Amino acid sequence: MKLQRLIAILTVLLQKDRVSATTLAEKFEVSVRTIYRDIEALESAGIPIVTHTGVNGGISIIEQCKIDKKLFTDQDISTLLTSLYSVSGSIPEAKLNQTLEKIKGLIPREHGRTIEVTSKQLYIDMTPWSNHPRISEALKQVQKSLEESKLIQFSYTPRHGETATRIAQPHQLVLKENNWYLRAFCLERQDFRIFKLRRMENILVLPQKFEPREFADGMTDFKDWKSDRLTVVELVIDGSLRERALDYCRDEYMEDLDDGSIYIKMPFVESEMGYSVLLGMGYQCEVIAPAHIRMEVTRRIALMGAVYE
């Protein structure tokens, strides 16, 4: 962590004329005393740093020693910043600030304002409206084990099964449809497995390190599962639900009916999530076919009604 902070401090000094120790301490969430120790470490490494005293004092690098920033184009830097801003909710603030400062150090001074504006023209917020504190804590522990390549131990409760203790080698965090998943090599199964963070408890990073293995990127494990279970469900929905339906199927699969309703052929996976989508449309949605899906929706509605009798 100290090395990353030193690089980030150096990057700040390269892009600014002068900055106070207090400003650096606030930015990197450390004490002013720690900042001065970091400055001494940079000076020992041969960095030509100058400390200015007085009201307008601060820390700076000799202007003649600053680097020429032509490695990336303005568009390259804007793209990097956009990507970082978009995942900001999933990265610890101190670490994010260090990375942002390194990238901003690549910005030529005369283009700084333009790149800053461009990088904020697109913002992708992938965090859910309400973030469960247990998920946040699980993310911190898993990210720590990933960074240090250390084994992780946790209690896991599958959808259908009993809770068991697992020890695994974490390799990748995946965010899919507002849910976090961990791809890890399970020592018990001696194979890669996907674990949903919401079902992980009592997470502990173990001292034992491991050598990362080769694995396929992304949630490829679910592709065959989805294609095997995918079917087409025929619906008639109220016209007011068009925008919601477009979240699940394309416009060409919709047909406007004379009474203002819409006939839809929608891809459907028979799962709890799939049925929750249908039931979430309420009384303004009717399942026409297949018959067994219509019957299952009817059964679930009856069970819901029984709760309120």
- CATH at residue 61: 1.10.10.10
For residues 190 and 264, state if they share a domain: no
Q: What is the CATH number of the domain that holds 252?
A: 3.30.70.240
Tens of pLDDT, residues 43-89: 877 778 888 877 777 888 776 655 554 445 656 655 556 555 555 55
pLDDT over 80 at 257, yes or no: yes
Asked if residue 186 has pLDDT above 60, the reply is yes
**pLDDT (0 to 100) of residue 166:** 93
Mean pLDDT across the stretch 269-293? 88
d(C-alpha 228, C-alpha 247), whole Å: 21
Question: Domain limits at 155?
Answer: 133-219
Residues 205, 275, single domain; the answer is no
Give the global pTM: 0.47
Task: Name which of 172, 156, 175 is nearest 164 in CA terms.
Answer: 156
Residue 235 has pLDDT above 70, yes or no: yes
Structural domain ending residue among the three candidates 29, 48, 65: 65
Q: Which ranges of 87-170 would DSSP assign to H, the alpha helix? A: 93-104, 112-119, 133-148
Residues 213 and 154 in one domain: yes
Residue 126 lies in a domain: no
- Residue 225 — pLDDT band, cuts 50, 70, 90? very low
Q: Is the peptide bond before 290 cis (omega within 30 degrees of 0)?
A: yes
User: In terms of domains, do 230 and 292 share one?
Assistant: yes
Residue of higher predicted confidence among 203 and 103? 203
Q: What share of the chain is helix, strand, coil (3-state, %, to 5)?
A: 45, 25, 30
Would you say residue 125 lies in a domain? no
CATH (domain of 207):
2.30.30.520
Q: What pLDDT, on the 0 to 100 scale, is given for residue 71?
A: 45
267 and 215 in one domain? no
Number of domains in the chain: 4
Model pLDDT, residue 32: 87
Residues 236 and 210 in one domain: no
Is residue 236 very low, low, confident or very high in pLDDT (cuts 50, 70, 90)? Answer: very high
Is 127 part of a structural domain of the chain?
A: no
**Co-location of 91 and 57 in the same domain:** no
Question: Could you tell me where the beta strands, DSSP code E, fall in 34-83?
Answer: 49-52, 58-61
Is residue 128 situated within a structural domain? no
Contacts of 15 (CB under 8 A, 6+ apart): 101, 104, 105, 107, 109
Confidence of residue 288 (pLDDT cuts 50, 70, 90): very high
CB atoms within 10 A of CB 22: 11
23-26 long-range contacts (CB < 8 A, ≥24 apart) are 23/58, 24/59
Shared domain check, 244 and 194: no
